[in-house]
Amino acid sequence: MTRILVTAAAASYAVNAAFGTAVAAGVIDNRRIRWVHHALFSATASLTVLAVAAGALERRPAGLALLPALGPLTALPYAGGRIRRHAALAGSAAPAYAAALVSAWRSH
């Protein structure tokens, strides 16, 4: 279960980051669909918490590798929409998702 949840959390993070990048670059105008980015964030945060919990219960390092991502995910709603600060904080979670994915797919 950990492998599935880690993969889902990482995929959700990647989609959310891509969407945010497209908005910041002006490729997508999200004035009327701002909820999409918020929904993607909620899905990412929820899947990440579930992956960490599954990793702890199953004693799998892949889920626990996501622990460092919880800090930025917790802080993001309070970081405001300033692009540089928001992007830096969100991007700081990327290494945890990458490490978790590598761990999840190597261990099986």
Specify the pLDDT at position 79: 85
DSSP strands (E only) in 3-99: none
Residue with tokens 């964030």: 41
What tokens were used for 6? 């880690």
What is the C-alpha separation between 48 and 21, in angstroms, rounded?
Answer: 20
The helices-and-strands tally (H runs, E runs) of the chain is 6, 0
Domains held by the chain: number: 1
Nearest to 4 by CA among 44, 63, 59: 63
Location of structure tokens 């990793």: 55
| Domain with 31 in it | 2-106
- Average confidence (pLDDT) per 10 residues, the chain, 108 residues: 97 96 93 93 98 96 96 92 89 97 86
Could you give the C-alpha distances from 78 to 90, 99, 101, in angstroms and in order? 12, 26, 27
Structure tokens at 12: 């959700």
The predicted model scores a pTM of 0.93
